[in-house]
Amino acid sequence: MGLGLCIILIAIGAILTFAADWELDGVNLDLVGLILMAVGIIGTAVYTSILRRRRMVVPPVAPTVTEQERRDLL
C-alpha cells in the first residue's frame, strides 16, 4: 500500500464520518469512516518507517591494508 492510497483512505474516511449524511440499513457510515481513517493512518506510519529504513546510508568500509601490501606498493 503506497502513501497515496493511505492518504486517499484517510480522506474518504473523513468524508464518510464528518460530511456524509446518508443512511443505509445495517451499515454505520460513521464507523466505516473511522475504520478507513485508522487504516490510512496505520498505513502511513508503516510506509514512512519502511521508507526511513530504506534511506539509511551506511558508510562504506575502508579496505584494510596490511604491512606486507604496503611494502609491496613501495
* For range 62-70, the mean pLDDT: 77
**Does the pLDDT value for residue 34 go beyond 80?**
yes
**Does the pLDDT value for residue 24 go beyond 80?**
yes
Distance from C-alpha of 59 to C-alpha of 50, rounded to nearest angstrom = 20
pLDDT at 23: 86
Distance from C-alpha of 18 to C-alpha of 6, rounded to nearest angstrom = 18
* For range 38-48, the mean pLDDT: 94
Tell me how far apart the 2 most distant CA atoms of the chain are, in Å: 87
Are 43 and 7 in contact, with CB atoms under 8 Å apart? Answer: no
Distance from C-alpha of 56 to C-alpha of 51, rounded to nearest angstrom = 9
Q: CB-based contacts of 14: which residues, under 8 Å, 6+ apart? A: 33, 37
The fraction of the chain above a pLDDT of 90, given in percent, is 49
User: Mean pLDDT over all residues of the chain?
Assistant: 86
